[in-house]
A = this chain, B = another copy of it.
Amino acid sequence: MLSQSVQDYLKTIYKLQENTSAVSTTQIAKELDISGASVTGMLKRLAAMKLVDYNSYKGVRLTEDGTKVALEILRHHRLLELYLKESLGFSLAKVHDEACRLEHYVSDEFVERIDDLLGRPEYSPLGNPIPTKEGRIPESSYLPVTDAELNKQYIIKRIADDNHEMVAYFEEVGLIPGVDIMVLSKAPFNGPLTIKYSGKEYIVGNEVGRNIYVDAI
């Protein structure tokens, strides 16, 4: 079995890979909040295990094997998030941390059972796609609400899970996946947005808006 640490590196590289072609040592170090030197050491080990392709100074990419592991962990994580919310009544703000710990230790049987119980869901409560057992993951391209057209009806599809306090805020004000939303106005120079959702008008900062992803209805 791969260590929790190895699993976390692979998950992190997978996520960072979505934006950049090759992932740098520093990016990983920042994301995991450890020193760059530690990352270099681990990347060598991961390369020796054939989980990543690593070129000194050039960055790193997951191999096919590495991707498979990353997707498995992501599957665990996102199913756990949904399970914690739906079956155990956890708040949206807390599911991420709990899932981050448990994802490494639940057995495949555990995951299969909650998957069944939840009816083989496709999305986590934060709107992230859940990879299938076979490693397929629905490609979905959503729009940050900051880029939405004015006065057009959208639906919230995903909220970013990086920042816990922001997730808690989203939950509190009801800006969560599945909710209809319309942008009434955007202040210039990346200013705040006036949005309408659940029958009320609301003003949110640009930073916040960039963490809400929507899709046209």
Identify which of B90, B110, B113 contacts A113 (C-beta below 8 A): B90
A interface residues, tally (CB under 8 Å): 18
Contact with B along A84-109 (1 / 0, CB 8 A): 10011110001000100110111101
Residues in chain B near residue A42, CB distance under 8 A: none
B110 touches A88 (CB 8 A): yes
Residue on B with the closest CB to A94?
B109
Copies, count: 2
Residues in chain B near residue A114, CB distance under 8 A: 88
Identify which of B102, B110, B117 contacts A105 (C-beta below 8 A): B102
Q: How far is the CA of A87 from the CA of B109 in the complex (A)?
A: 13
Residue on B with the closest CB to A103?
B105
Knowing A98-B110, A110-B98, say if A88 contacts B105 (CB, 8 Å).
Answer: no
Which A residues are closer than 8 A to B by beta carbons? 84, 87-90, 94, 98, 101-102, 104-107, 109-110, 113-114, 117
